[in-house]
């Protein structure tokens, strides 16, 4: 993974955590409605998607099904983000407000599923705290569907989760930046003696 993309993705994880925390305390920041805020959101989404895809690639050595689901849900979340940003850029008619809300719900759903599908990666490579907290966004999202006032809890969960993910990426940057030995991924005990079929 290119260093620039890795550090941009990590920085954007911190930014998403900060903005989610701001949404817990108040309304959407004013710059998020400007054209450059929309462009920044698109760049952030693409950089974070690249981080998640790298996690899926690392996970594929142990759990191919979870890795494929992660790729699918990250792609769906990115497509939902692009659609939401296009609506936000071109929205002028209040009659599109329901469509805009549906796009927001689709984005929240696919982000929650993407994080849930990456749980096996966090279970192997990260702390138990991060492995447990990735389970929360989907139930919180379902709670938001039932009670819209619970959105602040959902954003608070995302803030903690993206901040923890950024810290994890910094602590384990060698997994993202260096070529990864498949045997190291398959053997968590660190026993890398030659196998019988090695030449």
Q: What is the pLDDT of residues 117-128, one digit of tens each?
A: 999 888 888 778
Other C-beta atoms within 10 Å of 63: how many? 18
pLDDT average, residue stretch 6-35: 72
Q: Does residue 199 register a pLDDT over 60?
A: no
Model confidence at 77, pLDDT cuts 50, 70, 90, reads: very high
The pTM score is 0.77
Mapped onto helix, strand or coil, the DSSP state of residue 181 is coil
pLDDT average, residue stretch 26-34: 59
For the purposes of burial, counting CB atoms within 10 Å of the CB of 180, is it exposed (0-12), middle (13-18) or buried (19 or more)? middle
Share above pLDDT 90 across residues of the chain, in percent, rounded to a whole number: 11
pLDDT at position 198: 38
pLDDT at position 94: 63
Distance CA 56, CA 70 (A): 6
> Any idea which residue has 């850029």 for tokens?
89
Maximum mean pLDDT: which of 54-58, 148-152, 175-179: 54-58
DSSP state of 27: S
Q: Does residue 37 register a pLDDT over 80?
A: no
Cα dihedral 106, 111, 112, 117 in deg (nearest 10): 130
> Any idea which residue has 């952030």 for tokens?
44
Average pLDDT, the chain: 79
pLDDT at position 174: 77
DSSP state of 197: T
Distance CA 169, CA 126 (A): 9
User: Which of the two residues, 96 and 176, has the higher pLDDT score?
Assistant: 176
Phi, psi of 10 (to 5 degrees): -65, -45
Distance CA 25, CA 177 (A): 35
The distance from CA 88 to its chain's CA centroid, rounded to whole angstroms, is 21
């Amino acid at each position: 993974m290119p260093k620039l993309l890795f550090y941009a993705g990590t920085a954007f994880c911190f930014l998403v955590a900060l903005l989610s925390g701001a949404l817990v305390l108040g309304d959407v920041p004013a710059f998020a409605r400007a054209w450059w805020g929309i462009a920044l959101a698109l760049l952030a989404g693409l950089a974070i998607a690249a981080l998640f895809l790298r996690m899926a690639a690392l996970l594929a050595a142990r759990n191919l099904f979870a890795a494929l689901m992660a790729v699918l849900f990250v792609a769906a979340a990115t497509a939902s983000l692009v659609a939401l940003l296009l609506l936000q850029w071109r929205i002028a008619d209040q009659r599109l407000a329901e469509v805009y809300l549906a796009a927001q719900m689709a984005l929240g759903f696919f982000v929650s599923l993407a994080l849930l599908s990456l749980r096996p990666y966090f279970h192997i490579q990260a702390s138990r705290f991060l492995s447990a907290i990735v389970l929360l966004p989907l139930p919180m999202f379902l709670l938001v569907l039932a009670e819209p006032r619970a959105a602040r809890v959902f954003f608070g969960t995302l803030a903690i989760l993206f901040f923890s993910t950024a810290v994890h990426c910094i602590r384990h940057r060698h997994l993202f930046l260096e070529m990864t030995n498949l045997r190291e991924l398959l053997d968590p005990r660190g026993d890398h003696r030659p196998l019988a079929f090695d030449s």
